[in-house]
Every structure is written in structure tokens, then in C-alpha cells.
Homo-oligomer: A and B are copies of this chain.
Amino acid sequence: MNILITGGAGFLGQRLAQALLIGELKQTVTSLTLADIAPLRDAALLADKRVRGVTGDLKALLGDGLMQDIGGVFHLAAAVSGECEADIDVGLRTNLDTTRALLDACRASIQAPRLVFSSSLAVYGGDMPDVIADNTLPQPQNSYGTQKFMCEQLIADYTRKGYLDGRSVRLPTVTVRPGKPNKAASGFMSGVIREPLAGVDAVCPVDPATGVWITSPRRAVAGLIAAFNTPRAQWGSRTAMNLPGLSVRVADMLAALERHAGARVAARVRVEKDDIVSSIVGGWPWRFDTVRARGLGLSGPAAMDELIAEYVADYPDAVHG
């Protein structure tokens, strides 16, 4: 099967690509197209003959036949939360319009492709129960969450019509991410671990008592792959599925950092509250009961220590100082 990953040169896209190339899909991956606004630079991925990096605006690439012969899609490309909040038009264009163009390209395919859509816990907000259940009503309180939720609806309807076989999963915040900060309001959750481990000071823009709902890159990739591999009948409802994660307060993330690397490293984090980030992140829920996903055998990280250990194991070169 020919597979397309949108946002394929991004962090999660590359991690997913690596997993697909070692055979974690039930289908054999004949080719893997990684489409992204940024060029693909990962040497190992570029060296694999099955991999094709395609650079450009996704909507334009779709017009140039990107979906030709594609049997499966992982749609990860998106403008991130901070970006969407700063410019609603960028968010609507990048998240809603481009997703719709992708769905219409799927619809134009001869065989209805299978499509996994990465939605987000950011669909939730407002007046919520203490614990989010699979059937809790999302009431998005930011533009990113609104756009993700709208895409979920469109994917469900296109699936119902048989144009594609869509599965939307809502990811917890994926942390610890390597590399540089992005414009996601959630970006600091990686930063407060990554930077101190690299010997760099970091700012925590929220009250450390803030609770967050996070998962590790490995578990996020496992969730995306399970969404692809699960037979339709077992997948069930066309409504998006909340993936498992870890409920943790930011202070406990920092305590785990200190346990792992000592007080000197942990002291590199200083709290400097940012009202916009605090308002976005503070409005997200952080306790979930993910019955549906657990029924597929998926699980969240056991503790913050696991996420730090995974990061150190996966990116040993990023740890120094």
C-alpha cells in the first residue's frame, strides 16, 4: 500500500514514518510519501528507497495529484494552537480548508483510502465534568480546537458517505519533543524538560499547579498506528476517539526532571507567567477516562519519569550539561 503522511517532515510525522518503515502497519508499505511545508532533512528517511519527500503547501500539492495511488493517509499537518489563536484566518485556511481539500482528494480516488486524522484534546474546554469521557461534549475555547473539531465532523460524514474510511484520534500533548520550540501553546511542556537537559535555561509560562494531559512520542505513534490497523467494525463510532495519556501537574513534571537529573538541572526552569498561554492551556482538561481506546489495548505512560527516560533514550545527543 502507498501511504501518505501530511506534516511528514514534522517531528511526529518523522517518528511515524520510522515506525511504518519497520513494518508496524498490517499492510506492506510499498511507498511512503512525506508531504510537508518544510523540506525533509532526516538522512535515514531520505536514504530509504520507499520514501519520497514532497515539499510545498498541501492544498497546492493535492492539486498536483499528491493523492494519486495513495491507499492510506495519516493527516498530521496543521497550524498549531498559538498560531491559530494569533491569526484565525491562518488556522481556518491551514486546518479547515486544507483538510477539506484532502478529503475531497480522497473522495476523488478510485478506492476510498483509509485516513487517520490527528485531532487534539484542545477540542475540550468550558464547562466540563471533572473527568472527560468518550461521549463528553467538546466545547472548544480556542480556534485550533474549533477547527480540529470541525474537521472531525467532516471526516465522519465523508466516512459515512463511503468517500474514505476515516478515524479521528484526539492526541494528548506529545512530550518530550526534541528540537526547537514551535508556536504551540503546549510547547513549553517539552521545553521545560528538553532545555534544562541540554544545559539551557527554560521558561514555564503557566502556574506549576496547572494540570496537563500528555503522552510520549512512542505512545502517540502507537495510537496513530492502532487507529489505522483496527478493523472498521472494531473501531466503532465515527466520532473521534480520545487516546490514553498521563494526567500530571507541571510541578510534578519538574519534580521528575529533578529526580532524573538533579536539582542543578531542574533549577534551570523559571516560572514567568504568560497570560495567553496560561489561558489556552489552563482551559484544557487534564483528566480523561479513555475506555474506548483502552478497549483496543492502548495505554498511556505510567509516570512522567517514563517520558523523560524515553526522551533520553531516543535523543541521547540532546542531553548534555
Q: Which residues of A line the B interface, CB within 8 A?
A: 88, 126-127, 135-141, 143, 146, 149-150, 153-154, 156-157, 160-161, 237-239
Can you report 30 A-B residue pairs in the complex whose CB atoms are below 8 A from each other? A88-B157, A88-B161, A126-B237, A126-B238, A126-B239, A127-B237, A135-B137, A136-B137, A137-B137, A137-B138, A137-B239, A139-B156, A139-B237, A139-B238, A139-B239, A140-B153, A140-B156, A140-B157, A141-B160, A143-B157, A143-B161, A146-B153, A146-B154, A146-B156, A146-B157, A149-B153, A150-B150, A150-B153, A150-B154, A153-B153
Of the candidates A150, A153, A161, the one having the most CB atoms from chain B within 10 angstroms of its own CB is: A153
A307 CB → nearest B CB, Å: 30
Please state the number of chain copies in the assembly: 2
Which residues of B lie under 8 Å from residue A149 when comparing CB positions? Answer: 153
A232 CB → nearest B CB, Å: 15
A50 CB → nearest B CB, Å: 34
A146 CB → nearest B CB, Å: 4
Rounded to whole angstroms, the CA-CA distance of A153 and B143 in the bound complex is: 10
Which residues of B lie under 8 Å from residue A136 when comparing CB positions? Answer: 137
Which residues of B lie under 8 Å from residue A238 when comparing CB positions? Answer: 126, 139
Rounded to whole angstroms, the CA-CA distance of A153 and B124 in the bound complex is: 12
Which residues of B lie under 8 Å from residue A237 when comparing CB positions? Answer: 126-127, 139
Which residues of B lie under 8 Å from residue A156 when comparing CB positions? Answer: 139-140, 146
Rounded to whole angstroms, the CA-CA distance of A110 and B143 in the bound complex is: 22
Rounded to whole angstroms, the CA-CA distance of A143 and B146 in the bound complex is: 19
Which residues of B lie under 8 Å from residue A143 when comparing CB positions? Answer: 157, 161
A22 CB → nearest B CB, Å: 36
A108 CB → nearest B CB, Å: 12
Rounded to whole angstroms, the CA-CA distance of A127 and B238 in the bound complex is: 11
Rounded to whole angstroms, the CA-CA distance of A135 and B139 in the bound complex is: 10
Rounded to whole angstroms, the CA-CA distance of A160 and B237 in the bound complex is: 30
Pick the 7 closest A-B CB pairs, nearest first: A146-B157, A150-B150, A135-B137, A137-B137, A139-B239, A146-B153, A150-B153
